[in-house]
Chain A
Amino acid sequence: MGLRERIGILFWLLIGIIVSLASIRLGIGRAANPGSGFMPFFSGLLLIFLSLLLVVQEIRKVRAKPSISFSLNINKNLGILVCSFLVFIFVLQTLGYLISLSILLFVLLEATAPKKWISSLLWAIGVSICSYLIFSILLKCNLPRGIFNLG
């Protein structure tokens, strides 16, 4: 069984166990009067059962065809995208929509397709302002204005 399959199975097995245990605390009840934990408990058990079936399936597959080595092959830009996105959400209320989005887009453009920094900056600010005009002014979406009361 390859590393990828092992990680996948372990993950679902763990989720199944956690959900089943948490459901017992919620109260399973009886079939005639199911409690809040009734459906989650059996869903958790089903998840455990299916994960175990996947173990059997993968072992059979390995016997038939030896496992191929696995690499997640995560794009380097993905880390930057996820981190900058998290920072964006964190500062959105404080800095406001316009400033936060301009920074996010600038960082992403520079990281994923480095061109002249000034063109990335202009594209980032342009997209932010245009989207603000369309969504906030025209469509009346309530976007955060931040401490600078901008956008």
Chain B
Amino acid sequence: MDYLNSLIFGFSVTFEPINFLYCFWGVFIGNLIGVLPGIGPVGTIALLLPFTLGASPVAGIIMLSGIYYGAMYGGTITSILVNIPGEAASAVTCLDGYQMARQGRAGPALGIAAFGSFIAGTLGVIGLMFLAKPLASFALRFGPPEYFALMCLGLTMVVYLTQGSTLKGLITAVAGFIVSQIGTDIINGRPRFIFGLAELRDGIGLVPAVVGLLGLSEVFLNIGESEISIYKTKVKGLLPNLEDWSASIKPIFRGTIIGFLLGILPGGGAIVASFASYAVEKKVSKHPERFGHGAIEGVAGPESANNSATAGSYIPLFTLGIPSNVVMALLLGALMIHGVQPGPLLMKTNPEIFWGTVASMYLGNVILLVLNIPLIGLWVQLLKIPYRLLFPLILVFMLIGVYSVNNSVTDLYIMMIFGIFGYLFKKFDFEPAPLILAFILGPIMENSFRQSLLMSGGNFNIFFMRSISLTCFGIVFALLMSEGIPSLRKFKSKIQAE
């Protein structure tokens, strides 16, 4: 009954006209961005983050969330029709979705992806609703050492699962941590690394750094790239038939469970979930040889998994205040700019944010289903927009977005510098994701670390005398050591290559 009342309260928040509008725009833009290859959900959230700052925290978070799960839906369309994933979590859908399109079954592929995403997204939100409360109560036992250890674990997991070298991931994470220390020291008020610039006293802004590193660097990379070509097929019969449903229903539910559980784990999320679901479906199938040649289970499972993972990844953010991936780190950043601190007390101090977001996700999933089925023709047309016309629009968004936060030209310079670094990172095979996560978590980590040392009178044993922090550091140690074991390293490379 308590849950029901809270959910009704959440819907009352979501159905406020301004919140409803933000929800609609969020899912619409997310869907649109998911369709357009080259700009992923992370870049879009970074790009649109400044525009949500003028709104209330709940409206802002509803819109950013809408972009996230909207992009998951939209990414499927390009995977199926163009064989280019709109975003990374839909990459695995290319394998069977594109083959279905080539066999003239683009409609059922798109249809089952939309329905699967809807079912998984809705079930994921139900899971979020029921799991968040007990986990938040448990998290109340956490002190600064536990928080520090948990953040180290989250960061290590992200680094470990990052494409490419773990060592390079660790380097960018440390760099992000150093960047987060620019500005005034929170404990004794002394300025650090500001080079005499008054604008840096408050530190490097989240918005210019993230927009530069993730958004502008993408423009730098894509400028002058050749245009994509669309596989010419008629999209008809979007409603899957009974045979399609009977083949897909089990993969949808399996994908939902896999995605939700992997979404909760630090470092997990939609990408890992979709690949794991595909692997499971292939394993349990009586005809694994059909996979890669247009098996509808290869679309239904991963598409469901990436949507339920989206809901699952909110759990550590809302209950512990710790983001499990870069998108959640951006949401954490947005909440912190609004003066809201996610964590175990969020449901008590800001129930409108938690329950409003949960309810908006139910609503957003319905909006997406309604949008996707009739608008697929329009999305296909959008794919034909040449990048040379698209990139000026993206640039304008970034410029206005970054400038309007503080009306500061310095922020534009910061965005430019981070854009160049983001570009060079990609050229030198350094992943920017750990840097962003460490940059956002940096101040909280430093605070927890210094508080722990103050609590223990400078004794580092405090991190190893408490069971939760000891367990976290144990996992961190095991993960880092596993890099030294050749067979485990080969196994990781194999997963990444797949």
Contacts and interface: CB of A to CB of B under 8 A. Distances in A.
A43 B403 CA distance: 31
A85 B395 CA distance: 10
Nearest to B186: A36
Contacts of B188: 35-36
A94 B59 CA distance: 35
B224 A112 contact: yes
Contact of A123 (B389, B395, B413, B416): B389
Interface in A25-48: 26-27, 30-40, 43-44, 46-47
Interface string A33-73: 11111111001101100110110010000000000000011
A92 B409 contact: yes
Nearest to B184: A36
Contacts of A35: 188
B181 A43 contact: yes
Q: Which of B393, B396, B404 has the largest count of A CB atoms less than 10 A from its CB?
A: B396
B427 interface: yes
Given A113-B388, A127-B393, A81 B174 contact: no
Contact of A109 (B165, B392, B413): B392
A93 B453 CA distance: 47
A144 B446 CA distance: 37
A110 B391 CA distance: 13
A20 to B, nearest CB: 10
Q: Interface of chain A, helix or strand or loop or mixed?
A: helix
A76 B224 CA distance: 9
Interface string A4-31: 1001100010010001001000110011
Contact of B165 (A34, A57, A135): A57
A77 B223 contact: yes
Contacts, number: 133
A135 B392 contact: no
A86 B430 CA distance: 25
Nearest to B403: A143
Given A8-B428, A32-B453, A77 B224 contact: yes
B282 interface: no
B220 interface: yes
Interface in B69-103: none
Contacts of A113: 386, 388
Contact of A124 (B54, B392, B412, B450): B392
Given A50-B167, A101-B396, A43 B178 contact: yes
A149 interface: no
Given A40-B181, A40-B193, A93 B458 contact: no
Contact of A131 (B223, B396, B427): B396
A109 to B, nearest CB: 7
A112 B423 CA distance: 18
B416 A143 contact: no
A150 interface: no
B457 A32 contact: yes
Contact of A54 (B167, B391, B413): B167
B400 A39 contact: no
A118 interface: no
Nearest to A115: B388
B15 to A, nearest CB: 23
Nearest to A74: B427
A53 B416 contact: no
Interface size, A (range): 35 or more
A46 B152 CA distance: 14
Interface string B380-417: 00000010110111011001100110010100110010
Interface string B443-459: 00010011001100111
Interface in B459-491: 459-460
A73 B221 CA distance: 11
A35 B454 CA distance: 12
Nearest to B428: A8
A29 to B, nearest CB: 9
A38 B177 CA distance: 13
A108 interface: yes
B376 interface: no
B92 to A, nearest CB: 29
Interface in B166-202: 167-168, 170-171, 174-175, 177-178, 181, 185, 187-188, 190, 192-193
A39 B428 contact: no
B409 A54 contact: no
B226 to A, nearest CB: 12
Contacts of B453: 31-32, 34
Given A43-B181, A123-B389, A142 B174 contact: no
A105 interface: yes
A122 interface: no
Q: Which of B399, B403, B412, B430 has the largest count of A CB atoms less than 10 A from its CB?
A: B399
A93 B403 CA distance: 11
Interface in B211-235: 219-220, 223-224
A93 B395 CA distance: 18
A86 B460 CA distance: 47
A125 to B, nearest CB: 11
7 contacts: A15-B178, A31-B458, A40-B181, A43-B178, A53-B167, A82-B220, A135-B404
Interface of A: 4, 7-8, 12, 15, 19, 22, 26-27, 30-40, 43-44, 46-47, 50-51, 53-54, 57, 72-78, 81-82, 85-86, 88-89, 92-93, 101, 104-105, 108-109, 112-113, 123-124, 127-128, 131, 135, 139, 141-143
